[in-house]
Structure 1
């Protein structure tokens, strides 16, 4: 089971609908958490779509005990929220209930001309020190954290992220 969490308007609900129905649709902000079962490749995932607006973030902790992995998504075009995203991600990575949970950070919307580069996003999110550089299941004492750049709308990048995280869930 994994939790898909991020700031609002990053694209997580679009991603979940793309994985479920293979379609892009306009969505209203996620107001209430909901669960979906998805199949990606040969792996079956149960997901929690948790709202990203400030009020919804208060209940993220209620779901931590139920998740085996976290997908944290950020809008690479919204530089005004990089500091906020960095603080939320830092908080999640420091949360005791998630200390053994692998994290995928998805930099979304890379199809946009004003999208941050992977290096820029790493810098802003302070991910240089947290990444495990393609860690594999079985590396004791190291929590897997990886950054993947993607475009949900263009159907690129996120499959590799789910393939990577699936090695920790089987």
Structure 2
């Protein structure tokens, strides 16, 4: 089908193609499709590194994502989008592996706590991470027990189970 690109009036050509409108319409169409996929449980997610490619520059996807989250700018991101994180043996994992972390929530604890928590994004691993056999609480050759007492309780000093868990101790290795 032919497209009219210019309209001539009195011998003067006027461009009739509005690239901005076409771009906006395509973006709206894509977003509608992502929303439809989400509604029927079929949204496979997009790679966050691709979404933020224009913002990464000389930094990393983590830097760009952190900056976005700190500013409360979640535009273009959706629950189900993902980031592939390489874990190396220095991270107390069984072997070098790549784990896909799925974007699970925006600001689940925003303004919560004694000192209000700022904007943040919550991720969840899409599959279990195999930990090294040397990690405290490791069981079944690669999985981490909640604690070695095999209970989900805290202690008299620390009543909250999570800060007292092997999981929290293992996660602390990633905080730097």
The structure whose RCO (Cα within 8 Å, separation 6+) is larger is 1
Query: In terms of Rg, which structure is larger?
Result: 2
- Normalised to the residue count of structure 2, the TM-score between the two structures is 0.24
Scaled by the length of structure 1, what TM-score is found? Answer: 0.25
